[in-house]
């Protein structure tokens, strides 16, 4: 007869069997399989893989497009602080008890729930050389001739970054709004009684108490920026020097059919993501400890 403690452990572990099995099948096995595939030359037609050692990694680091993709995802990180800054301001603005404020919160969140294909088609129309953006700028006299926003290397990546910024505002606004509503209102009332201005309240109360939320949002926003794919795929198809790591992985596998090189790039990219995750978690832990 098992003891009560052993029965509790047995029941607990029995509930873990199903999710662990699913994780093993759909997460851990593909990871291991991908690492093994990175050392092979896989023939999709024959379904056979030939062991080639580190050849895929060597060819990858010789490919100039790899360094373009690496440079682009690092440049894409520029959008992270802008998203966080404006999301905080937006959350502060909608964190008011005003008539119809829920409607405005929903309105700001609409881009998040709108499909990426719909968003990209809309922005491709806006950024088109004969689109509304060029028409507006020409009408205002800010430019003398239309700009090829999605085919000119000087502007294409910035255009994709702007779409990412536009889509991300509502998402992070909701997270910051939840953080703001967890701050006790008594602190604000006491500060106003002491004669603190709105700017002082924001700097001395709101930002310090919102620090764990800010660090968490920076973490997920950084990883999302590094893994950017949809905007590049749907807006530029990797042209105009907008290739990113995720797009290059896709391109190697499904356009060039170089599955081994694609897997090798996935392994390298996973290492880059792990490095940035460790860096962010150090700041996140420091913020939590200082809370």
- As a whole number of angstroms, the distance between CA 55 and CA 271 comes to 18
Cβ proximity of 265 and 66 under 8 Å? yes
Cβ proximity of 187 and 178 under 8 Å? no
The Cβ of residue 69 has, within 10 Å, a number of other Cβ atoms equal to 25
In total, the chain counts a number of residues equal to: 291
Q: What is the pTM of this model?
A: 0.85
Q: Which of 258, 236, 237, 173 is nearest to 210 (CA)?
A: 173
- As a whole number of angstroms, the distance between CA 150 and CA 126 comes to 10
Residue-range domains of the chain with CATH = 55-117+159-289 (1.10.3720.10)
Q: At how many degrees (to 10) do helices 55-62 and 259-289 cross?
A: 80
Q: How confident is the model at residue 285 (pLDDT cuts 50, 70, 90)?
A: low
Structure tokens at 250: 């896709």
pLDDT at 282: 77
Q: pLDDT averaged over the chain?
A: 88
Q: Which of 2-16, 173-187, 212-226, 265-279 has the lowest mean pLDDT?
A: 2-16
Tens of pLDDT, residue by residue over 188-232, are 888 888 888 888 888 888 888 888 888 889 888 999 999 999 889
Structure tokens at 111: 């881009």
Cβ proximity of 164 and 86 under 8 Å? no
In terms of C-beta density within 10 A (0-12 exposed, 13-18 middle, 19 or more buried), how is residue 248 classed? Answer: buried
* Cα–chain center distance at 291: 26
Using DSSP, state whether 48 is helix, strand or coil: strand
Task: Write down the residue that tokens 């689109």 correspond to.
Answer: 131
Q: Which of 257, 236, 241 is nearest to 64 (CA)?
A: 241
Sign (positive or negative) of CA dihedral 28, 33, 34, 38 = positive
Tens of pLDDT, residue by residue over 73-128, are 999 999 999 999 999 999 988 888 777 788 888 888 888 888 888 888 899 999 99
């Amino acid at each position: 007869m098992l003891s009560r403690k052993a029965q509790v452990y047995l029941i607990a572990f029995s509930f873990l069997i199903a999710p662990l099995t699913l994780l093993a099948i759909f997460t851990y096995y593909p990871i291991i399989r991908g690492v093994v595939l990175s050392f092979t030359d896989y023939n999709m037609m024959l379904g056979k893989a030939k062991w080639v050692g580190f050849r895929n990694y060597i060819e990858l680091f010789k490919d100039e497009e790899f360094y373009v993709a690496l440079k682009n995802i690092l440049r894409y990180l520029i959008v992270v602080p802008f998203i966080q800054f404006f999301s905080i301001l937006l959350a502060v603005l909608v964190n008011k008890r005003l008539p119809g404020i829920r409607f405005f919160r929903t309105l700001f969140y609409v881009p998040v729930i709108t499909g990426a294909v719909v968003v990209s088609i809309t922005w491709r129309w806006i950024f088109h050389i004969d689109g509304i953006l060029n028409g507006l700028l020409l009408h205002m006299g800010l430019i003398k001739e239309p700009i090829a926003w999605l085919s000119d290397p000087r502007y294409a990546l910035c255009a994709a970054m702007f779409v990412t910024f536009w889509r991300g505002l509502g998402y992070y606004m909701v997270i910051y709004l939840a953080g703001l509503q967890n701050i006790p209102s008594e602190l604000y009332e006491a500060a106003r009684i002491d004669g603190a201005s709105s700017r002082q309240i924001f700097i001395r109360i709101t930002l310090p108490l919102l620090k764990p939320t800010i660090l968490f949002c920076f973490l997920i926003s950084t990883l999302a920026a590094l893994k950017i794919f949809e905007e590049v795929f749907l807006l530029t198809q990797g042209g105009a020097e907008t290739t990113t790591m995720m797009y290059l992985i896709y391109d190697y596998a499904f356009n060039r059919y170089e599955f081994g090189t694609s897997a090798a790039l996935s392994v390298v990219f996973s290492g880059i993501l792990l490095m940035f995750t460790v860096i962010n978690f150090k700041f996140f832990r420091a913020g939590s400890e200082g809370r």
